Structure 1
Amino acid sequence: MTDAADDGGGTPAGASGDGLRGPRPLWRQRDFGIFWAAQTLSVLGDSFALIALPLLVLEATGSVARMGLLTAVGGAASVVAAVFAGAVVDRVDRRRLLIVCDLVRMGLYGAIPLVWLFGPQIWLLYVVLPLCEAVGMLFAVGYVTVVRGLVGTERLTEANGRLGATAAAAGVLGPLCAGLVAAWSGPAAAVGVDAASFGVSATCLFFVRFRTRTAGDERTGERQGLWRDLRTGVAFLRGHPVLRSLTVLLFVFSFLTLGLNDLVIYHLKHDLGHDDGTVGTVMALGALGTITGALLVARIRRRLGFGPTWTGAVAVCGLAFAGLGWARDVPVVAALSAAFLACVGVAGTCSMSLRQEVTPEHLLGRVTSAFWTLHYAAAPAGAALLTWAAEEQGTAPVALAAGAMCVLLAVTALFTPIRGSGRGRKPV
């Protein structure tokens, strides 16, 4: 790839519509590098909110069910936004959309520490988080659709793996710092750091030049409303055997696992009696697993193929989840969290890369939107149910049951077209 000089129409040189023009490594491509930095900064701050918002609720109410309710409300807003996110992304300038999403989240999250100066206001979290999750879904769909234009189809898995690895590295530092900030200054201050990170990310994105979509990519005349756009994305998923199977299995997986973060925090704080600093340390150590998974995913997929990689990752996720509630020592909780997050990263990167590889450019936003709408449709209810059950029955039996069902999903995948998408075979 050549560096960031435009080659006429705003297309970053080195990235064409169908792949690469040269073998220049990703780290030497200016636009991808800036985009990479923006995402890392955004995740660094976002990991503060991942810890701080549940801690704010737990500090004020002492209830894991209320933590789960906040997660459920945010998840529901994300699902609703996913319905129209693809249509929006396929219609507007994607660079501008990403910048606006970052700025909106900066303002919304920034309101929390300001209001908290006058005392806890739990209601504000139930307003801010759903709005941020909805905007975040728009950002996420847009983010997925621009990577191929930056690096080309041949390097999608590598690029996604690198984005995931550095995001995970930020995810290690973020929870660790968030736990320290929360212990010293309170969880609201940690949310303030999150708000600032979105401002820095927006500034970085301002300097990225994305590939200009061609008239064939746009095809705006074919789009006649949000529901038709969603049906178009669903139809593509239904017509692709592997994506169809993935969508169904991930629907159940997200139902079982969206509340895991709340469960781990509650287990550490309530069951084991540790402080906010310990929570941050455990989450940071767990995120090391995400780094490992992100760095290894391209190599593992090349060696084993999509099917074995994805299925094995989901199976290990289930085993790790099953053991979390029974772990009584902090190092064991951290190790199991790391194993779970590593395999979530491997499975997620494989799934996203496959979607990017097989979906036509002009459909990518709508297919991504439909995929995530279906993927997370039941997840908010699952998070609420998981945390309610943990409060009523304890974390150990709930984690064991959810983990066992995740393993069952991996076994089920062996009887779907996912199994056949192995090494040396293109997923179809």
Structure 2
Amino acid sequence: MRGVGAPASLWRDRDFTVFWLGQALSVVGGSLSLVALPLLVLAATGSLVQMGLITVVTGGTGILTGLFAGHVVDRCDRRRLMIACDLLRGLLLGALPLVWLTAGPAVWVLYVLTALVTALKTVFDVAYVTAVPQLVRAADLTAANARLMGTFALGTLAGPVAAGFLTAGPGGEWALGVDGATFLVSAVSLRWVTFGRHTPPPDDAPVPRPTGASGARRLREVFAVGFRFLWGHTLLRPLTVLLTLLTFVTMGATDLLIYRVREDLRQDAATLGYVIAVSGLGVIGAALLAGRLRRALGFGPCWLGAVALIAVAVAGIGLSGSVPVIAALAVLFMFGTTLGGVTSMTLRQEVTPDALLGRVTSAFWTVHNAAGPVGAAALTGLGARYGVPAASVTGGALCLLILLAGLATPLRHGRPTAAGIRCRSRGRRWCTPRRIPPASGTAPRRRTRSR
């Protein structure tokens, strides 16, 4: 169990508070990019398909990086790795306004920038998920994750509004530059955080000997370690499959909303910024209620209920011609995605041993994000050909099918327990918390068995 002794208030935990505030500030920058990047592409090309392709690049890069991100996180000092990712993202995004001024608008620059920043973001996010259990006790995980999500909502309230004004004024490239500055601040804040105070002691079980395989084969084996843990767990297995299908729908949903407001309803960038900012209320609401709902209902009902809300929101955004109604549906969408995200992340942190958490998180994200780029391309392509209403209704119907499938799995009454892990092993390949392969190619350790 992570952490022992009397519980302490998260408000009095200096390390968590510094981590929490530093990352909340960086979300303001991320919210700027959420609006500014698609608008930059739209201003340069006027094409919904090009907007979808940027989303495809984001998803595809995340999948490729996810194959090795967990291995890197489990091998490296997580704090230093996160600082390095922040510094590099800050420099890349900060350089964009200069490139835009000297070379002029160039869509290919945005594709390259998106790929590099996404790769760094994937590594950072895996390290971020593994860091939270090292900062707080196991009993505080849901509260900590919910507080992070809720505070991040403050950034989503301010960021899109600022992005709308920056895009309408100096330009979207300056909004991305400001995003880069927030990453630099995040890097500085991480230097004041100490990880590992709540890390469980290492397991005394023997570890398997490295196979000495080639680089490509070793990479596959490293990824397979996390995947076997996912597939051996009675709740993580259906969750991974259903999230893969859900991501197929939701990754392109933001593009549909942006196109619906800007092109179909002929609203300006500032109005779009307000709509996305208001959606942050859904994040705040979910953050406040996630802990209570999880305790009262369990993981499965919370997650499946979130899918139902997402289905209603995705379909309604395409059917409504009213900006206030679309804003309300965006709130519902963000409530569902936040509730599902908090409960899903907490579940993985609860049932996964610390030494394996990076690889399990990386495998989880890689697998369930695999359908995202295809879904984004399909959804935006469908919207370009048949209109956003048709694409949105199709997306909502797919979400309802995912919900019905989930009701036929253990998720309908799922609560995480140690007994939920079932191991299938072959030779020296292990998937249980008791047998964890080393993250690096070190020699096996011999331990003395106590009697």
> TM-score, normalized by length of structure 1?
0.93
**How far apart in 2 are the matches of 1:222 and 1:169?**
48
Q: Does 1:31 align with 2:15?
A: yes
Identity of aligned residues (%): 48
Q: Secondary structure at the match of 2:157?
A: helix
Show the counterpart of 2:110. Answer: 125
**How far apart in 2 are the matches of 1:312 and 1:344?**
10
For structure 1, the residue ranges without an aligned partner over 5 or more in a row are 1-16
**How far apart in 2 are the matches of 1:379 and 1:280?**
24
Q: Contact between 2:58 and 2:114, CA under 8 Å: does it hold in 1? A: yes
Show the counterpart of 1:299. Answer: 292
Could you list the per-position Cα deviations for residues 124-171 of structure 1 after superposition, in whole angstroms to 9, with x for gaps in the alignment? Answer: 000000111111000000000010010011110000000000011111
Show the counterpart of 2:81. Answer: 97
For structure 2, the residue ranges without an aligned partner over 5 or more in a row are 212-217, 421-451
Could you list the per-position Cα deviations for residues 305-352 of structure 1 after superposition, in whole angstroms to 9, with x for gaps in the alignment? Answer: 111111111111101111111111110111001101111000111010
Alignment of 1:112-151 (within 5 A): 112-118=96-102, 119-151=104-136
Q: Contact between 2:251 and 2:372, CA under 8 Å: does it hold in 1? A: yes
Please state how far the C-alpha of 1:19 moved relative to its aligned partner.
Answer: 2.1
**How far apart in 2 are the matches of 1:389 and 1:278?**
25
Q: Number of aligned residue pairs: give it.
A: 411
Q: Does 1:168 align with 2:153?
A: yes
Could you list the per-position Cα deviations for residues 357-409 of structure 1 after superposition, in whole angstroms to 9, with x for gaps in the alignment? Answer: 00011110110011001010111111111111111110001000101110111
Show the counterpart of 2:320. Answer: 327
1:75 aligned partner, one-letter code: G
Alignment of 1:12-27 (within 5 A): 18-27=2-11
Alignment of 1:2-401 (within 5 A): 18-118=2-102, 119-211=104-196, 216=202, 225-401=218-394
Q: Contact between 1:305 and 1:425, CA under 8 Å: does it hold in 2? A: no
Show the counterpart of 1:418. Answer: 411
Q: Contact between 1:242 and 1:427, CA under 8 Å: does it hold in 2? A: no
**How far apart in 1 are the matches of 2:321 and 2:78?**
46
Could you list the per-position Cα deviations for residues 29-86 of structure 1 after superposition, in whole angstroms to 9, with x for gaps in the alignment? Answer: 0000000011101111111011000000001111111000011011100110011010
2:202 aligned partner, one-letter code: G
Higher mean C-alpha deviation, range 411-420 or range 276-285: 411-420
Distance 1:208 1:217, change over 3 A: farther
Distance 1:309 1:215, change over 3 A: closer
**How far apart in 2 are the matches of 1:20 and 1:171?**
35
What is the alpha-carbon root mean square deviation over aligned residues?
1.8
Q: Contact between 1:421 and 1:427, CA under 8 Å: does it hold in 2? A: no
Please state how far the C-alpha of 1:182 moved relative to its aligned partner.
Answer: 1.2
Please state how far the C-alpha of 1:262 moved relative to its aligned partner.
Answer: 1.1
**Greater Rg by CA:** 2
**How far apart in 1 are the matches of 2:138 and 2:209?**
25
Please state how far the C-alpha of 1:268 moved relative to its aligned partner.
Answer: 0.7
Q: Contact between 2:2 and 2:200, CA under 8 Å: does it hold in 1? A: no
**How far apart in 2 are the matches of 1:262 and 1:388?**
11
2:304 aligned partner, one-letter code: T
> TM-score, normalized by length of structure 2?
0.88
Distance 1:122 1:302, change over 3 A: same
Distance 1:350 1:391, change over 3 A: same
